[in-house]
Amino acid sequence: MEYRRLGSTGMYVSEIAYGNWITHGSQVEADAAMRCVKTALDVGITTFDTADVYAGTRAEVVLGKALKGVRRESYELFTKVYWPTGTGKNDRGLSRKHIIESCNASLKRLQTDHIDLYQLHRFDFETPLEETLSALDDLVHSGKVHYVGFSEWTAPQIAAGLKIQDAKGYNRFVSSQPQYSALWRVIEAEVVPLSIKEGIGQIVWSPIAQGVLTGKYLPGKKAPAGSRATDKKSGAGMISRWLTEEVLTAVQKLKPIAEEAGLTMSQLSIAWVLQNPNVSAAIMGATKPSQVKENVKAAGVKLDASIMRAIDNALGMLPEKDPAKNISPNPRA
C-alpha cells in the first residue's frame, strides 16, 4: 500500500480507501463485511469511508463492529451528513440541529469518540452556509471531529464556503469527495484547479464506474446474475446509465490496454484516477475479500503517458466532463 497526504493537511490516508456505501448492512451479510474489513486492514488499507444514510444507518453500525478492537490511532475513519436519516422534518439537510445530532449518532454507531473526517454529503440550498460551517467548526473544537470536507460540491459552492471559513476563522475544508472515473470526469475543469489552489484533496468514489469498467458487462449480453446491475439494493439505477452498447463496446477496448500494463481492468481503472496528483485516495467497495486483494494492487501503480493516451483513445468522447452535471438535490424534495 502507498499513502498520500489528505490535501495540505499533515494526515496521511491510504491510496485505496475502503467504502461501504452499498455493501455493509445492505448487499452483504455482516460476517462477509467483517471479513472484507479484516482483509482491508491486512493489506494495508487504513482509510474507511461511510455515511449516516448508507443502508439506513446500518452501514455505520456494521463498520463500527468490524473495527472494534483495532487500535483507533491506526486508521482514519470518515463519515458524512446530509441525506435523510429519519422521517422527521429536521432529520436531513445541513442545519446546526441535524449536523450536531447526526454527528453524535454516528459516533455511537461507529463506537468511537471521534471522526477523522466529517463530510457534508451534498450542498444544502435551504440552510444558511454560515450556520452549517459554524456547526462544523464547533465539532472540531469539541474534539469530536478532526477535519471537515464535502462531497459533490461545485467550484462556486466550494469558494463560497472557503470565503466564510476564512472570514470567520473557522477550520477550512481539506477534502472533496466526488464521483471520478475514466468515464466521469466532471471535476477536472473547475473543482480540481480550485482544490489544488486551496489545499483540498480529492477522495474519489466509484473509480470503476459502479463496476462497468471491470469489463464484466458485455455489449449485447444480459448483465451477469448477481451483479450490481441486477440488484436494486446495490445501485442498479445508477449503473444503468452506463449500460449502453456504445459504452460497453468502448470499455472492452480497455482490456488489451490493461493486459499490456499487467493489470486487471479494475486495477487499471483505479490506477487511472490515482494518476491525478490532486487525488488523495480512491474509494473501493467489496462484497468479498478477493475483491479487496485484487483492487489494492492498483496502489503505487504508475501508468506511462502512452497508456493514458490509449485509454483516452479507447473511450473517445464518451467520458462526461461537463461541470454542470455536478448537482446537489434538495434533501426535502
Positions annotated as catalytic residues are: 54
Measured between alpha carbons, how far is residue 32 from residues 91, 133, 286, 321 in Å?
Answer: 30, 37, 10, 36
- DSSP annotation string for 259-277: HHHT--HHHHHHHHHHTST
Closest CA to 59 of 104, 18, 119, 114: 18
Beta pairing partners, 5: 12
Report the alpha-carbon distance of residue 21 to residue 86 in Å, rounded.
Answer: 18
Closest CA to 96 of 137, 149, 132: 132
Spell out a b/e string for 169-188, using b for 16 or more CB atoms within 10 Å of the CB, else e. ebbbbbbbbbbbbbbbbbbe
- DSSP annotation string for 105-162: HHHHHHT-S-EEEEEE-S--SSS-HHHHHHHHHHHHHHTSEEEEEESS--HHHHHHHH
How long a stretch of residues is the chain?
A: 333
Report the alpha-carbon distance of residue 329 to residue 333 in Å, rounded.
Answer: 8
The three grid cell numbers given for residue 247, joined into one nine-digit string? 459504452
CA angle 280, 285, 286 (to 5 degrees): 140
